[in-house]
Amino acid sequence: MLKLFNFIVSFTIKPKEHLIISGIFKLLVPVEVDMNQFEQVNVPFELQDLIPQFMTYTTVDFQTLKQYFSERNFIGMRQMCHKMLGSVSSFGFEQLHSLLISLQKNLRGEDWILVNDNMRDLERYFLFLDVIFPMDNVG
């Protein structure tokens, strides 16, 4: 049986010097996973209200990407990858951006083995990601 533990990665939004808004990513991670692979995300203040909607759409897009993957639809996967790349770095999700860039590169080469590895990495990313906003930490 796989042992799991909770791990929290925090991020801070600093819109002004005197105001700090904090949030956390709560990750449920297998013990053998290298925790250094998870990033600290600094979300721009002006985008904070959009994060829940962004996460919903990004998760739905990933489900579509997985469907295309199961169909071996490289064209659909490339299109979905392109769509997702348009927003992930704007919200500060650099690790997700890098994973999608790698997938996009391997899709161009139609290397199914590497695409499979990329999808496994993305699956792990989405499996462990849970965004929580404790708004009472403003001060």
Tens digit of pLDDT per residue, the chain (139 long)?
333 333 344 444 444 443 343 444 443 444 444 545 555 666 667 777 888 888 889 989 999 999 999 999 999 999 999 999 988 877 778 889 999 999 999 999 888 899 999 999 998 887 766 555 444 344 4
In three-state secondary structure terms, 1 is: coil
> Look-up: residue for tokens 């996967």?
77
**4/104 Cα distance (integer angstroms):** 31
Cα angle 75, 77, 48; round to 5: 135
Q: Is it true that domain 4-137 has CATH number 3.40.50.2300?
A: no
Does the pTM exceed 0.85?
no
User: What does the domain layout of the chain look like in residue ranges?
Assistant: 4-137
Helix-helix angle 112-128:51-70, to 10 degrees: 150
